[in-house]
Amino acid sequence: MKFAIADPPYLGLAVKFYGDMHPDAAVFDTIDGHRELVERLERDYDGWAMFLHQQSLRHILPLCPPGARVMSWVKPWCSFKPTVRVAYAWEPIIVNGGRPFEGREQDTERDWISANMTMGVGFQGAKPPKVVRWLLRVLNARPDDHIDDLFPGSGNVSRTIEDWRARREPRQLQLIAEGDE
């Protein structure tokens, strides 16, 4: 099967945070850029996950197919900004498709995960390995599947996928235990 994890520049924040690093950042400051991304994900992949920020959820979710689900990455420790009264301590992730559930032989995943934000990797918005491994379980991916990191940024998503592949047998369904880092 073919899967994608997409962590595009967030709607309205692309040029501000990634304009110097990402040549197409301005595309993702438009709803049309995200519409094209969703269309690509639907056309080219059996399952996918897309990160976004809370403010854009109301704009991007209607672009997604009816079966898409909103998952939640809850951040027990996050960045608190002095001008923000209520902290942004969770992040929506839209997930669609994936390998079908295989019944009682397989554990059921929660639709949320709790993991601290990533610090010290030199790239704002880097995703923690624990969140990436959880998404691989949610998609029911296997190490022999084709999995694309569509926005490599810090490289954390790609490195986590490579590490996951190297440490697993091709048919093993379960990833690292929930508490493992």
Q: Would you say residue 96 has pLDDT above 80?
A: yes
Is residue 177 in a domain? no
Which candidate, 91, 68, 67, places its Cα nearest to that of 79? 91
Domain that holds residue 31: 2-166
Share of the chain above pLDDT 70, in %: 88
More confident residue, 46 or 176: 46
How does pLDDT run across 57-69, given as a tens digit for each residue? 999 999 999 999 9
45 three-state secondary structure: coil
Strand partners, 91: 73
What's the structural domain count of the chain? 1
Report the alpha-carbon distance of residue 120 to residue 31 in Å, rounded.
Answer: 31
Q: What is the pLDDT of residue 122?
A: 59
> Which has the minimum average pLDDT: 65-69, 126-130, 158-162?
126-130
Is residue 181 in a domain? no
More confident residue, 55 or 171: 55
The radius of gyration computed from the CA coordinates of the chain, to the nearest angstrom, equals: 16
Neighbours of 70 (CB within 10 A): 15
Per-residue pLDDT averaged across 70-98, rounded?
Answer: 90
Is residue 178 in a domain? no
Is residue 8 in a domain? yes
At 15, which CATH number? 3.40.50.150
Share of the chain above pLDDT 90, in %: 58
Q: Would you say residue 118 has pLDDT above 60?
A: yes
Q: What is the pLDDT of residue 126?
A: 79
Q: What is the mean pLDDT of the chain?
A: 86
Per-residue pLDDT averaged across 6-13, rounded?
Answer: 88
Is residue 115 in a domain? yes
Per-residue pLDDT averaged across 64-93, rounded?
Answer: 90
Is residue 171 in a domain? no
Which uninterrupted H or E stretch holds 113? Answer: strand 112-114
Entry pTM:
0.86
Is residue 26 in a domain? yes
How does pLDDT run across 133-148, given as a tens digit for each residue? 999 999 999 999 999 9
Is residue 155 in a domain? yes
